[in-house]
Structure formats: C-alpha cells, structure tokens
Amino acid sequence: MSQETEKKDFKIPSPWRYKRYYVFLLATIVSLVIPWISVDGNHLFLLSFDKMKLHLAFIQFDMQELYLMPFLLMLLFISIFGMTVVGGRVFCGWLCPQTIFRVVYRDLIETKLLGLRKRIANKQQEPDMSKPENKVKKVIAILIWSVLALIAGADFMWYFVPPEDFFNYLNNPAEHGVMIGFVIGVALFLIYDIVFMKENFCVYVCPYSRVQSVLYDEHTVMALYDEHRGGHIYDEEGNKGFTKQKELQKVEEHAECTTCEKCVTVCPTHIDIRKGLQLECINCLECVDACTTVMGKLGKPSLVTWSSDYEIVDRKGKTQFFRPKVLAYGAILIVITIILGLMSTTKEHMLLNINKETQAYSIAKKQDKYTVENSYTFLVQNTQREKMKYYFDVVMPEGYNGKIEVVRPLKPFNVTPDKIKKKIVILRAVGDLGKSDVQDTIIPIKIHAYALDKDGKPSQKISVFRNSTFIYPSKNQLK
C-alpha cells in the first residue's frame, strides 16, 4: 500500500477540546440549576448559615444534625483522589472552575468574540497591548467577564442563601451588606484571578498539583509524549537538545517528531509535554489535539496521547483501569455513600434537649402522703415549616410499682418554625418508687415528645424519644 493510500485511510480522531466544551457546558448548567431545585421548600443541596439548616436530597437538617457534613466532605475528596489515581489531573482540566472560567474568558471572549487573540491554538502569545484598539478590546473583555463574575459569585452564594431569599434580600441592601459584600468579593477575586493571575493560580497557588504526585502510579492515565516514536527532545537532565527534525533524525533515525512546537504553543500552563510529567500539567489534552492534527496530516497517530507510563513509556502492556487501588477507592465511596444514606434516614422532625435542674428533687406532704417532684428544662425546636403543638409522655422502665406523670405543662404548647422554645417541665412520682432505705433511687426514664396532628392525636412522624432520669428519695429521707 502506498504512502498516499495510507494517509487517506487514516482517520483523524475528533478533538478532545470539543468533548471538554460539552463537559464545561454541562457542569455550568448543573451548578446554576441545583440551587433552584426544591420540593416543598426543601432544596436538593443548601447549606444555609442564615437559617442554620442543611438541605440534602430534599431533606432538611438542623445544625445539630451536621454530623452528615464530614461524610459529604469525605465523598468529595475521596472522589477527587480516586479520579486522580485513574485519570491524573482530569479534574483540573475538565471540571475545575478555574479552568472553565479561563476557557470562557481567553478562548470565548478574548479570541472568538473580540478577536483580541488571533488563534485558540496559540496560548503563549499575549495580545499586543501597544495598539489602541487592543486596549479597548481588553477593557470590553474585562467588563464582559465582570458581569459573568458577578453571576458566578451570586451562584456560589445561592448554595448558602437560597435564590428566593437572595433576591428578596437585594431589596434591602443596607440590611444584608455581608451577603452583598461576599458576592462582590468573590467577583473581584475572579476578575483578578482569571484576567491577571491566569494559569499561575494552577502552577503556584493550587495545592492539588503537589498532592497528585503522591497519588499517581504507573497505570495513571495522563497526557504523555511517546519518546519511542517521536524521539528524545530532552536529555535526562531536562535540557532541550533539538529544535529541528533534521537534527533529531541525525541522532535518532526513526524519530517522528516534526519539532513543530504545536503542542507547546497550545499549552495553557506553558510547558513542553515532551519533557515528561510535570506538576503544571492539568490534563486538558490540548497538546494531544495539537499533535493529533499535525501527525494526522502525515497519516500517523498522535505522538502525544492520553495513556499511562505502563503502556507508553515502559511498554509493558495495556493500561489496567480496574486495579486494587482503584477498586479500594470505589469500595470506600460505596461504604461512605451507604452510611450517609442510612444516617440521613434517621432525620428527626423535631429536636429536644433535656437538662435536669440542679436540685435533685422536692418533697411535699399532702394528707399524710408524700409527693416527689423533679424539675427539668426542655429545649424544643420546631423543624417543620408550620406552627406545631407539642407535648410529652413519660415511659417507665419495668419493675416499678407506680408511674411518673407530667405536672407542668398541663396542656400542649405551640412552637413556631425554626424557633427554640424553653419549657420548665415538672414530673411527679405516683406511688412508692423507692427501693432503698438509705440511698436515693435513680430511675431511668424515657421522655416521649411528640407533635399533635390536626385531630389532636400524637403524630407518628414527628416523635422523638430521649433518655433521662428521675431521682426518688430514700425511705429514711421521706420519714
């Protein structure tokens, strides 16, 4: 088969860049839509510092129930770490807001809309700001990005202040200066970061690049230059040896690298992928696309591919995706997800905290009979969205001849939503509950607190149990 026929038969793969754009669009839509999704006032996800609530999967949790947050954080970080073990810094190149924002500003606004940059393929060459028209375009680009940065700041705030409250608060800016200042602060940071700091944030500020080197193994997939085919552009000490293909082929006859530098000029973090693995690489695969285009015209596959050291550098065989380390991360994520699901099902629809008064008990004599009372402070919080009526019962343990009744309050009481109500509760012993002549009897009781439904009956859903104690004096003390 002739060389011309081979070129016609070779099909250039579609660029990774377009796939990244689809992922960017999906991530943007998801991040903008999630704060607006709610069912009966309960959001898909909301961490409200304003109302001290956590909304997760349309279930509302109070701050006392924030034991779920560590599991959410573990899911986040372990997912990113597991993603890194499999695909390197794929999070940085495909999902990180920093990368998405830079692509929007540099490639869409500066290049496509305003023509400030000549080509997306050349990210090394900065615009010539000596030209007056370029200065005007730069200002317009910053103004457009400022609007987008404000939207991004507002979207970030919506995960802490729901949109319906956010826009109501904007009507009274003087009373909500912290919220507005936070949004403006985020927007200003994004303007500085995306317009002026650029990819230096990824290179010098972001700690993730330092963590990734610990997580990598020989099967981790990343952008790699195939030195076996392309030739060794750099020596073992990292010094560049060749700038022209003819010079390279004098040393390595079969070297295929054309030294066109397309993979270098397209790199947003300004590295040369042919030098080997570098912390600055964000796995955006722009270099893969560049080399694919150049080598594709020659009827050859790209010299830069998304593969592993095991397959490209060491040439030991195919990359193993389902290896023990990856399976371990998957198992941990499944276990944490199950635990989080089980714990979220234990959501209590009212909160009750019981504190016993410092005085152990009070004794009163009526008609030659002694009555014993214990006092408590109940803190009741209504976690529902409407006013509710609450009351209590006392559940006695087995083995006692008598009971404990509620003396105060005598009737159910109202608690407004999201409010904590303090109630002084007095319990009275009915019957002789003492078991010792010389020592007080500590009786383990269970308080059943519940809401009343519309028919005045105890609610099956809004019901909690709390353990407490009732102290009954010794028989000598009664005498």
Per-residue model confidence (pLDDT) at position 156 = 95
Per-residue model confidence (pLDDT) at position 385 = 76
Per-residue model confidence (pLDDT) at position 3 = 47
- Distance, first Cα to last Cα, the chain: 115
Q: Please give the structure tokens belonging to residue 324.
A: 């023990």
Which has more confidence, 315 or 6? 315
Range with the poorest average pLDDT among 260-264, 360-364, 446-450: 360-364
CA distance 111 to 118: 6
pLDDT at 166 over 60: yes
Find, among 157, 75, 149, the residue nearest to 340 by Cα. 75
pLDDT at 334 over 90: yes
Average pLDDT over residues 324-351: 85
DSSP state of 462: E
CA distance 124 to 142: 20
Q: What percent of the chain has pLDDT over 90?
A: 43
Q: Identify whether the C-beta of residue 354 lies closer than 8 Å to the C-beta of residue 468.
A: yes
Range with the poorest average pLDDT among 66-70, 201-205, 351-355: 66-70
Amino acid at 246: K
pTM: 0.77
CA distance 474 to 440: 5
Query: What are the residue boundaries of the structural domains of the chain, listed by start?
Result: 1-36+88-316, 350-478
Range with the poorest average pLDDT among 62-76, 143-157, 274-288: 62-76
Average pLDDT over residues 455-467: 84
CA distance 332 to 21: 31
Per-residue model confidence (pLDDT) at position 2 = 45
Q: pLDDT tens digits for 196-253?
A: 999 899 888 888 877 777 888 899 999 999 999 999 998 888 888 888 888 888 888 8
> CA torsion angle for 76, 31, 23, 102 (degrees, to 10)?
-100
- Residues pairing with 355 in the sheet: 377
Range with the poorest average pLDDT among 32-36, 148-152, 362-366: 362-366
45-48 and 413-415 strand pairing: unpaired
CA 474 to each of CA 89, 342, 442: distance values in angstroms, whole numbers, following the listed order:
70, 44, 10
Per-residue model confidence (pLDDT) at position 178 = 92
Per-residue model confidence (pLDDT) at position 236 = 82
Domain range 350-478, CATH architecture: Sandwich (2.60)
CA distance 384 to 370: 41
Q: Please give the structure tokens belonging to residue 405.
A: 């009744």
Q: What percent of the chain has pLDDT over 70?
A: 96
pLDDT at 414 over 80: yes
Q: pLDDT tens digits for 93-121?
A: 999 999 999 999 999 999 999 999 888 88
Per-residue model confidence (pLDDT) at position 63 = 67
pLDDT category of residue 347 using cuts at 50, 70 and 90? low
Mean pLDDT, the chain, rounded, equals 87
Average pLDDT over residues 186-191: 96
Across 67-81, 303-317, 385-399, 448-462, the highest mean pLDDT is recorded for 303-317
Give the number of other Cβ atoms within 10 Å of residue 230's Cβ: 22
